[in-house]
Structure 1
Amino acid sequence: MSMMNIFNVSGSAVSAQSQRLNTVATNLANADTVAGPDGKSFKARQVMFQSVPMGDKGSAGVQVTEIREDQTAGRRVHDPKHPSADEQGYVTYSNVNAVEEMVNMISASRSYQNNVEVMNTAKSLLLKTLQMGQS
């Protein structure tokens, strides 16, 4: 793998993880929302990745193929005094699991940081190679 290809591969991963972090942030922001006027509550979203070839030496990067909505039912809480309660007195909240989203956020953040570190290391190696050529 060429040194320049390392930037393409890590750059694709940084971009994908950035999109994953944005999706997690949206999910967490809507974790305690209730169903809207249409009766539908917020559905958690998950980022789907796919490996993509990069360069001519068999290296592969990553890209986001889709952002999929989780179709499981939202959490229902009996609260007849809530303004969004249905006829039976239940309020439907989003199906976001805050604990799972926090784990997802930590994983995405670490992946992002690791790929930034790979790019910084490759940059340092390239700079040292150029300095050796100047001597």
Structure 2
Amino acid sequence: MDLDRALSISAAGMAAQSTRLRVVAENLANRDSTGQTPGADPYRRRTVTFTNNMDRALGAPTLRASRIGTEPGAFPERYEPQHPAADERGYVKTPNVNSLMEVMDMREAQRSYGANLSVIETTRGMLMRTIEALRG
């Protein structure tokens, strides 16, 4: 039945966005995490890569979080000579996490999650009305 497929596809989308929200929360929680020793690298921002996955049982493509990676690039530095992770110049490497970017990612994931939830609620309502009609 197509309604079952709609439920499964939306559930896959919700699972993918849940992963994205978890990674965003992790990034925000670690946005001030520096290295422990002088010159050590701090927390590196994590990213989620999504792929379109053909679900053969459903006969439909579904979204899934295929990989959690890290964002490449240099770390911003902050002059703080008294910090335990400061290098010989007095600079501390800080995480490459941008709070504004994380909040934007969070909102996008929230909207997508909500849209999939709406599909599930609508589909469930259609199924319930069908069952009621069959009962007569």
TM-score, normalised with respect to structure 2: 0.92
Q: CA deviation at 1:25?
A: 0.2
CA contact (8 A) 1:13 1:61 kept: yes
Task: State the Cα distance separating 1:133 from its structure 2 match.
Answer: 0.9
Q: Which 4+ runs in 1 deviate beyond 6 A?
A: none
Partner of 1:31: 31
1:108 and 2:120 equivalent?
no
Q: Offset at 1:83?
A: 2.3
Displacement, 1:134?
1.1
Cα drift, residue 62 of structure 1: 0.7
Unaligned 5+ residue runs, structure 1?
none
Deviates more, 1:54-63 or 1:125-134: 54-63
Write the mapping of 1:1-135 to structure 2, written as runs, cut at 5 A.
2-37=2-37, 39-55=40-56, 59-135=60-136
- Paired-residue identity, %: 32
**Contact kept? 2:14, 2:117, Cα under 8 Å:** yes
The answer to whether the 8 A contact 1:12-1:61 is kept is: yes
> Normalising to structure 1: TM-score of the pair?
0.93
CA distance in structure 1 between the aligned counterparts of 2:85 and 2:58, rounded to whole angstroms? 57
Which range moves more in the overlay, 31-40 or 86-95? 31-40
Taking the aligned partners of 1:18 and 1:42, their CA distance within structure 2 comes to 21
Indicate the RMSD between aligned Cα atoms, in angstroms: 1.6
- Give the superposition deviation at 1:58: 5.2
Offset of residue 56 of structure 1: 6.7
Unmatched tracts of structure 2, length 5 or more? none
Mean Cα deviation higher: 71-80 or 48-57: 48-57
Number of equivalent positions: 135
Distance in 2 between residues matched to 1:62 and 1:123, nearest whole Å: 21
Cα distance, 1:132 vs structure 2 = 0.8
